[in-house]
Amino acid sequence: MAQIELCNITKKYKKNTALDDISITIKDNEFFVLFGPAGAGKTTLLKIIAGAEFPQEGLVKIDGKIVNHMESKDRNISMVFENYALYPNLTVYDNIASPMRSRLYRKDENDIKTAVNKVTELMKINHLLERKPSQLSNGQRQRVALGRCLVRNPSVFLMDEPLAHLDAKLRHMMRGELKEMQTSINSTTIYVTHDYTEAMSLADRIAVLNKGKIVQLGTAQEMYFTPRNEFVACLFGEPEINIIEAQIYHESEKVYCKAFNQDVFLYPGTDVGKILTGEERSRVDMGIRGTDIEIAFERPGDDWLEGCVYANEPIGNKVIMTLTAAGNKIAITCPNDTKADLDATVYFKINMDKVLFFDSETKEFITRSDMKKYKKGEETDT
């Protein structure tokens, strides 16, 4: 139960700036995700909130109180570290019991036992209680670390990649468990990840970090459907969004695009067309996800583009087909019985209503069809 305010946080290591003027307000009880590539400064930000690192500039406030100089033990925070940070000399049981044995949060041994048993059952590690961390696999260690974090009822949970070292199956399951737990724990949670599915699934709000700066702050849906720039667009979605360079042509009232040096007219939606007409552009970057491209083996119509199969990867419930067209690669999600020979010629059609338009110079987001629909989503969320 705490609101966290970060005001103009700047952190430098020698000459490298890890965090550059970060200001965020994380609401009480919010599940907040810090998302970004490696080295973006996510972990540093988390440690600053925990009190394990100190910013050169800026204020950290918990519930309105400035805590810059408060020791971490007094902040009532519990944290999962990416390298687990388990006590190597203690058993799993003692590791998890540790927060409840400190002077600040002391409980009697019976309560500790019930609490530890509850949390270890949830994490499916109750058969490992007597082991030392060195005898565990990475996945098990991670669950112990998560257990140690969840056993207490702090005002803030900080989680640094808590699922990163689990295998896909366990990660899927634990994500579900975390998500379900979210409703029952009354605490603000800040969660660091580089996995977009975790971010989208768990977050109330997401902050995308890159090189120590916040690139975009908003809900998962905003990130996915109206990313601020190509960088954010590429972070969300698997396979990665296709960025296609296109030329804009004005034809009386209408605007159309051409791509891949092919003589196929691509008409954007009228609302997009208006915006594109207003600006004197000759080029634009189109972002289109693999799910929004259709594929065919015979050309069904004039508005279909031509490509060459570069790779064809069945991954169970779908097939990811990669085409090449004029040197560009385009990844397309197809049904799981699609088969194609490498280097065969195929045809594809872009669903122009789903295209995200970016400025080809600045890579900033311009517009997309149905902006209202996605803007409305924003209003209801805030």
Shortest CB 265 distance to other proteins, Å:
26
Check binding of 265 to other proteins (CB under 8 A).
no
Cα separation, 212 vs 239, in Å, equals 26
Chosen residue from 73, 127, 283, 373 binding other proteins by CB under 8 A: 73
Check binding of 221 to other proteins (CB under 8 A).
yes
> In this structure, what DSSP letter does residue 27 have?
P
Chosen residue from 57, 279, 303, 313 binding other proteins by CB under 8 A: 313
> In this structure, what DSSP letter does residue 34 have?
E
Residues whose CB is less than 8 angstroms from the CB of residue 13 and which lie 6 or more positions away in sequence, other chains included: none
Check binding of 125 to other proteins (CB under 8 A).
no
Residues whose CB is less than 8 angstroms from the CB of residue 33 and which lie 6 or more positions away in sequence, other chains included: 190, 191, 192, 193, 198, 199, 202, 203, 205, 206, 207
Contact 232, 215 (CB under 8 A): yes
Chosen residue from 27, 65, 179, 274 binding other proteins by CB under 8 A: 179
Of 157-176, which residues contact other proteins (CB under 8 A)?
A: 167-169, 172-173, 175-176
Contact 231, 210 (CB under 8 A): yes
What residue spans of the chain are helical by DSSP H? Answer: 42-50, 92-97, 109-123, 138-150, 168-184, 196-202, 220-225, 230-235, 270-278, 371-381
Chosen residue from 252, 316, 379, 382 binding other proteins by CB under 8 A: 316
Q: Which stretch binds other proteins (CB under 8 A): 27-35, 57-65, 75-83, 252-260?
A: 75-83
- The closest of 7, 10, 44 to 190, measured between CA atoms, is 44
Chosen residue from 31, 191, 236, 358 binding other proteins by CB under 8 A: 236
Q: Which stretch binds other proteins (CB under 8 A): 60-68, 97-105, 111-119, 263-271?
A: 97-105
Q: Which stretch binds other proteins (CB under 8 A): 27-35, 43-51, 60-68, 257-265?
A: 43-51
Check binding of 335 to other proteins (CB under 8 A).
no
Question: How is residue 264 written in tokens?
Answer: 């196929």
Chosen residue from 36, 41, 55, 237 binding other proteins by CB under 8 A: 237
**Distance, C-alpha 277 to centroid of its chain:** 34
- Where do we find the tokens 């519930």? 63
Check binding of 311 to other proteins (CB under 8 A).
yes
Residues of the shown chain interacting with other proteins in the complex, contacts defined by CB under 8 A: 38, 47, 50-52, 71-73, 75, 77-79, 81, 83-89, 98-99, 102-105, 148, 167-169, 172-173, 175-177, 179-180, 183, 196-197, 200-202, 220-221, 224-225, 236-237, 239-240, 289, 291, 310-311, 313-317, 320, 322, 333, 336-337, 342-343
